[in-house]
Structure 1
Amino acid sequence: MKRIAIMLMLLLFVSMHSVAQEINWVTLEQALELQKKTPKKIMMDVYTSWCGPCKMLDKNTFHNADVVDYVNKHYYAVKFDAEGNEEVNYKGKTFANPGYKPELANRRNSPHELTRYFQVSAYPTIVFMDEEGELIAPIRGYQQPTQLELYLKLFKNDDYKDMDTQEKFNDYYKAFKPEFKG
């Protein structure tokens, strides 16, 4: 009986520690509401269901322990289907996807109006917004954890506000020392 109790405790311990860390994803409307109580920037993953690099970003980057910890601590994280059919209220306007075709739900579909509004022209794109929900920048393409770290810290610390030239960004990029494990 004692052996069974020890085995059960071991099993419970192992299962508790093998649970993958997750980013706390919310909708854009929820993130904007949360900002009213506790201001944080927003990081929005703009993806599609058919996009291979989007799936890699989700699997390799958004499940990286350093990324998960940093995002959960400093950002409201939003997942947004760039070709989805949901209505989204943002800045007093309702955005929809009037060209959406249900039969194309898992293939290329019409881009959502919010996708265009945020200047998204490729998938994946990570859209960063400030504490008032205003667009800072869309960052195109697959980002490895250390690549995303640069942008997470650049925007979180407001360092981007001093970068009015490409040269200043290049200097920041060259000086940046990633701390996340890849």
Structure 2
Amino acid sequence: MQAQRTEIAWIGFEDLEDSLKVKAKPVVLYFYTDWCVYCKKMDKNAFRDPEVISTVNQDFYAVKMNAESTEPVDFEGQTFINEQAKVQRNGVHQIPQMLATREDKPISFPVVMVLDKNFRVEKRSFEYLTSEKMRLLIKG
């Protein structure tokens, strides 16, 4: 019997690409920033909830990314960068821009997304999620 993990097994986009080649599975994406108070609150609450941890680790690949990262990310044969960081403070990386931008509003954090095993967006949340709301978001 495997011991119960006490935290989510977060991976990066490069690891996700390798993992998806081995086994197709739905994905939970979490975009945060260092200055986001609600992101920190979710890290302490929703992402520490034993049921959330168990479900995410068992049923999903979990990707956590600082949306303001200046590190290049290689994914699906492309390199994604943070172009905005060259010209503005708190510039947002290309990956969250592509996946988490809404037509009518600027990007805001935290962003939690659920993608199916074919990497299509199923659910998106642009607000603080309590443990209960997070459990509902990741439910099948």
Question: TM class by shorter-chain length?
Answer: 0.7 to 0.9
Offset, 1:134: 3.1
The 3 A distance-change label for structure 1 pair 88 and 138 is: farther
Indicate conservation of the 8 Å contact 1:32/1:133, yes or no.
Answer: no
Identity of aligned residues (%): 31
1:135 aligns with 2:116: no
Offset, 1:43: 0.4
Offset, 1:76: 0.7
How does the TM-score come out when normalised to structure 2? 0.84
Moved over 4 A (4+): none
Letter matched to residue 145 of structure 1: S
For 1:62, what is the secondary structure of its paired residue? helix
For 2:55, what is the secondary structure of its paired residue? helix
Q: Which runs of 5+ in 2 are unaligned?
A: 102-106
- Deviating more after overlay: 111-120 vs 133-142: 133-142
1:117 aligns with 2:98: yes
Q: Which runs of 5+ in 1 are unaligned?
A: 1-19, 158-182
Bigger helix share: 1
Point out which structure has higher relative CO (alpha carbons under 8 A, 6+ apart). Answer: 2
Aligned residues: 130
> Is the radius of gyration larger for structure 1 or structure 2?
1
Indicate conservation of the 8 Å contact 2:24/2:117, yes or no.
Answer: yes
How does the TM-score come out when normalised to structure 1? 0.66
Q: Which residue in 1 is equivalent to 2:39?
A: 54
Q: Which residue in 1 is equivalent to 2:22?
A: 37
Root-mean-square deviation (Å)? 1.8
